[in-house]
Amino acid sequence: MQKSYRAPNPGDNRSWFLIDAKDQPLGRLAVVAANKLRAKDLPTFDPSVDAGAFVVVVNAASVKLTGNKEEQKDYQRYSGYRNGLKHFTAAEMRASHPDRMIKEAVWGMLPKNNIARKMMTRLKVFAGAEHTHAAQKPVEIKL
């Protein structure tokens, strides 16, 4: 009888990928990042094994939003207190925290469980072109 294969957890031997967000649509960029974090592009994909890679996103401040999303897309944050619900448009979010736009888009594409919370720690987003992970020699992904 043939046994089923279970992919091992890579531990410290994870790959590093670099994505340049300059003039890339937010949703398409988030799909690529989420698939790399989940390792859905590998033939050994198993949803219960955290075998994904590190993803570094640069130029988050210049990600592209299509249509009228710059003024109409609404982000919200709730503090837990009464009247603690805050609303932001995409333009306000881009001005104050451009990295959160990408983080929230990727988080929406991951399953909501403990493994996804670990995956989000491997997503590194930078507003500008410089990043602090050059020593890991990330492979650049062209979108």
Could you report the per-residue pLDDT of 111-125, keeping only the tens digit for each? 999 999 999 999 999
pLDDT at 96: 95
- Dihedral Cα 111, 47, 43, 13, nearest 10 deg: 90
pLDDT at 2: 78
pLDDT at 123: 98
pLDDT at 12: 86
- Dihedral Cα 10, 123, 27, 88, nearest 10 deg: 150
Query: Mean pLDDT per 10-residue run, the chain (143 residues)?
Result: 81 94 96 97 90 96 96 96 96 96 97 96 97 96 91
**Domains of the chain listed by start with CATH number:** 16-64+97-141 (3.90.1180.10)
Q: Quick one: tokens of 55?
A: 């993803």
Backbone phi, psi, residue 77, to 5°: -140, 135
For 65, residues 6+ apart whose C-beta sits below 8 A from its C-beta are 25, 26, 73, 90
Q: Quick one: tokens of 114?
A: 């403990």
